[in-house]
Structure 1
Amino acid sequence: MGEIRVGTSSWADRLLLASGWYPRSVNTPAGRLGYYARQFDLVEVDTSYYAIPAPETTAAWADRTPDGFTFDIKAFSLFTGHPTPAAALPADLRPATATGRVRRRDLPDGAYDELWRRFRAALDPLAAADRLGTVLLQFPPWFAYGEAARRRILELAERCRPARVAVEFRNGSWFDGDNGLRTLTFLREHDLSFVCLDMPQGHPSSIPPVVVGTAEPAVVRFHGRAAAWSGGDKQEKFRYAYAEAELREWVGLLTELADGCAEVHVLFNNCCGDQAQRDAATLAALLGRPADVPAAHPA
């Protein structure tokens, strides 16, 4: 059976820092990452969705974590078609007159390719230290099934290579009727990991709870099941505490998934306070995982 690795979609979220999950003595960025890495051996970097980190930053992440620790990296929002605040772009690549949100078409000539060059440069220290897991391409709710969308996925995946790539959909058309089989076949043929989701159902953005691996590693993300998924703000959308019985249902599903692949990445994104960390710890215990991993290197 493949290894099931459990973690959360951030280690430095503002609400997490205020929750009391970190001991009071753990009060520096380096200390918090080291402490997190003693509890879990996997984390998803959410901040890279909002701004491209500097290589010096990702090199420090690698230095502060032990061998065997893995970072999954969320792709920058502009790459996956999300309108992005102009202020999130490096100053030298911002459109001259933009003050609000921008898309690829708004960028100066050459800026889009340069953004990708800097994003890949940020991945390099993690890859060199054997800390890089997948690059997550999380597409917006309006990214619907179709040939143009498939071409877009392949273009972005090629820009990420040789990193492993995982694809998360938030538009139900990818699984309407026969589209589900076509979607999974497409991902499998192009060596792309389908992101299996535990999320609220019954919304246009809902993806059914299909649990299947299409590439290495298999990826599962837990968004919670909050009723406010479509209408609430971010905090309301992800405010959800999994009952132990709900997590127990996933133990068999994850074990079966691991039977067909070398590694499964399980990430909790119900990031309201320290709930993601609590639920991740509960699931890890139910899976029979050890309580922690080897201690991080000194900061």
Structure 2
Amino acid sequence: MDIRCGTAGWTDKTLIACKRFYPRGSSSAEARLRFYASQFPLVEVDSAYYALPSAPNSQLWSERTPAGFTFNFKSFRLFTGHQTSPDVLPKDIATALPAGITGPRRKNVYYGELPAEILDELWRRYQEALEPLRASGRLGAVLFQFAPWIIRSPDGLALVETCRLRMADYLMAVEFRNQTWFDDQHAQWTLDFLRERGLVHVIVDAPPEVTNRVHTVWEATHPELAMVRLHGRNTQTWGATGAASAADRFDYDYRDDELNELASSIRAIATRAGRTHVIFNNCFEDQGQRNARTLMSILGVGPNPS
């Protein structure tokens, strides 16, 4: 079984500030990535959700990591139906937005209201940024974490299909956040929908009591990859409107008994796909890194891919 563990990002402010993960002297971007890649075989580029990634950065990341290291990318937020401030768009694209969708009363724009030529250019730039890593064999999957209000409806299905067609040359993983996709009535339908389109179903671990998440469904829909993302189980901070950052929202330290329970399910799902990626998104301080190391020890896997 090929099981690889990693975390969502490697430069979170709270991770660096806690001074428990990076050794003394690892103060540069290069030193931090090189150290991270010596500890884990996989990372998720979470920053690609907040702003378009760049090809020069991808080239540097390729040069600073060993062969066999894998980068999963998170999709840019606009593509997954999230509200997006024009401030995070490239300046030339932001200035080209139609006057009707910008202005003092409009803080955000949405995918469906942008002109086709602007969307084409955003997709082009996003994919351009992936190329250095794909060329070096370090690109894994591109994760599309759809907004909680993207429901299993004609519009929601159309958005997923749009993204699938745009990403036809890449391995695309899908994480839904609305329960309509995996309620008791539609779970099998959704799994079949993903399987028929060659999309990777993302298995989520999250607080069981909250409603703006999908049910945890341990199924694989793609022969090449199974993906598990662990968001922690902090009910109080999951939907907190005042959370200052993702680190605050996903502040949770998995207990060893919880990781042992997860390891059993991960081993089982790993028999149903060529590779299994496990990403810890509990990104407060060094919780994700510590939990990932513990899980790797339980699973008996190391930092270097076999």
Same-fold status (TM-score > 0.5): yes
How many corresponding residue pairs? 292
Moved over 3 A (4+): 96-99, 105-109
Matches within 5 A, 1:26-37: 26-37=26-37
Give ranges in structure 1 of 5+ residues lacking alignment: 295-299
**In the alignment, structure 1 residue 279 sits paired with structure 2 residue 279:** no
Contact (CA 8 Å) 1:80, 1:139: kept in 2 or not? yes
Contact (CA 8 Å) 2:247, 2:285: kept in 1 or not? no
CA distance in 1, matches of 2:23, 2:212: 37
Matches within 5 A, 1:127-276: 127-215=134-222, 216-228=224-236, 229-231=238-240, 233=243, 234-276=246-288
Contact (CA 8 Å) 1:45, 1:71: kept in 2 or not? yes
Greater displacement, 148-157 / 267-276: 148-157
Structure 1 length-normalised TM: 0.94
Greater displacement, 183-192 / 104-113: 104-113
1:236–1:14: structure 2 CA closer, same or farther, 3 Å change rule? closer
**In the alignment, structure 1 residue 293 sits paired with structure 2 residue 300:** no
Other structure's SS at 1:176 match:
coil
Instruction: Output one character per residue of 1:106-163: Cα deviation in whole Å (capped at 9) or x when no partner.
Output: 5455111100000010111111000010010001111111233222212101111211
Letter of the 2:11 partner, please give it. A
Instruction: Output one character per residue of 1:11-30: Cα deviation in whole Å (capped at 9) or x when no partner.
Output: 11111111211112111001
Contact (CA 8 Å) 1:201, 1:207: kept in 2 or not? no
Residue 81 of structure 2 aligns with which residue? 81
1:109–1:181: structure 2 CA closer, same or farther, 3 Å change rule? closer
Letter of the 1:272 partner, please give it. F
Matches within 5 A, 1:41-80: 41-80=41-80
Contact (CA 8 Å) 1:93, 1:108: kept in 2 or not? no
Q: State percent identity of aligned pairs.
A: 41
Letter of the 1:175 partner, please give it. F
Letter of the 2:144 partner, please give it. L
1:147–1:102: structure 2 CA closer, same or farther, 3 Å change rule? closer
CA distance in 2, matches of 1:108, 1:205: 30
Contact (CA 8 Å) 1:41, 1:70: kept in 2 or not? yes
Give ranges in structure 2 of 5+ residues lacking alignment: none
Residue 4 of structure 2 aligns with which residue? 5
Greater displacement, 160-169 / 89-98: 89-98
Instruction: Output one character per residue of 1:225-271: Cα deviation in whole Å (capped at 9) or x when no partner.
Output: 00221235244421100000000001111111111111000000000
Letter of the 2:158 partner, please give it. R
Residue 110 of structure 1 aligns with which residue? 117
CA distance in 1, matches of 2:109, 2:58: 26
CA distance in 2, matches of 1:54, 1:235: 24
Contact (CA 8 Å) 1:164, 1:192: kept in 2 or not? yes
Greater displacement, 17-26 / 183-192: 17-26
CA distance in 2, matches of 1:231, 1:26: 33
Contact (CA 8 Å) 1:239, 1:270: kept in 2 or not? yes
Give the CA RMSD over aligned residues.
1.5
Letter of the 1:75 partner, please give it. S
Other structure's SS at 1:166 match:
strand
CA distance in 2, matches of 1:43, 1:236: 20
Greater displacement, 254-263 / 205-214: 205-214
Contact (CA 8 Å) 1:227, 1:237: kept in 2 or not? no
